[in-house]
Amino acid sequence: MKGIQYLMDTAGNKTAILIDLKNHDTRIDDILEDMFDLIACEKIKNEESIPFSKAVNTLFKKGKLSKAVHSKVMNKHV
């Protein structure tokens, strides 16, 4: 990609990235947010997933969701 350079260690592993901001219209905070999202996705790509309804119910049981929010989310999900 134009304006993107990777720095590599002696073994050829990518260790850093250089972004020429003159070649990109996107603001730096948008670029960084996208990069962090990709890193987070990469870290969990092999983790077992759970159904959405189970995740919502677990959050509700732990007190992280109010009854109103839980009901609204579950009614939309069905």
Confidence label for 9 from pLDDT (cuts 50, 70 and 90): very high
58: CB partners within 8 A, 6+ apart: none
d(Cα 36, Cα 20) in Å, to the nearest integer? Answer: 18
Lowest mean pLDDT among 20-24, 52-56, 68-72: 20-24
C-beta separation of 52 from 70 below 8 A: no
Same domain for 36 and 9, yes or no, is yes
Q: pTM for the complete prediction?
A: 0.45
d(Cα 21, Cα 58) in Å, to the nearest integer? Answer: 43
Same domain for 19 and 40, yes or no, is yes
Give the residue, 62 or 22, on which the prediction is more confident: 62
Size of the chain, expressed as the number of residues it contains? 78
Q: Please tell me the total count of domains within the chain.
A: 2
Q: What is the domain extent for residue 17? A: 4-44
Confidence label for 26 from pLDDT (cuts 50, 70 and 90): low
Tokens representing residue 31 in the block: 């670029």
Question: Mean of the pLDDT values across residues 34-55?
Answer: 92
Same domain for 68 and 40, yes or no, is no
